[in-house]
Amino acid sequence: MKKEIHPKYYPEAKVVCACGNTFTVGSTVERLDVELCSACHPFYTGKQKIVDTARRVEKFQERAAKKDTGKLAAKKAKVAERKTAKAKK
């Protein structure tokens, strides 16, 4: 290994999150400032924050619900037609 080409390693580097959570890790940087951590990220906390000013999410959910019910009715109609066709044979 060549000498003096590797960065200094800090085994007790401090990580500070925007939410105020702090913890230590090993890193080549002495202090890390992050915006999200496992204490505040929606994936880990289970709290999903959706900012919806134009009702886009609600509109999408309404459209998806309409499509699902339409497909289900069409599928039931096809199954009924097949059963009647088999009964006639």
Q: What is the pLDDT, as a whole number, of residue 51?
A: 65
Coil vs helix vs strand at 22: strand
* Residue 51 backbone phi and psi in degrees, to 5: -95, 115
Per-residue model confidence as pLDDT tens digits over 46-89: 777 666 667 888 888 888 888 766 677 778 888 888 888 888 76
pTM over 0.85: no
Q: How far is CA 81 from CA 73, 78, 89, in A?
A: 12, 5, 13
Question: Between 42 and 82, where is the model more confident?
Answer: 82
Which candidate, 41, 37, 45, places its Cα nearest to that of 17? 37
Q: Calculate mean pLDDT across residues 4-27.
A: 93
Q: How far is CA 51 from CA 4, 11, 18, 56, 82, in A?
A: 49, 39, 19, 10, 46
Q: What percent of the chain has pLDDT over 90?
A: 30
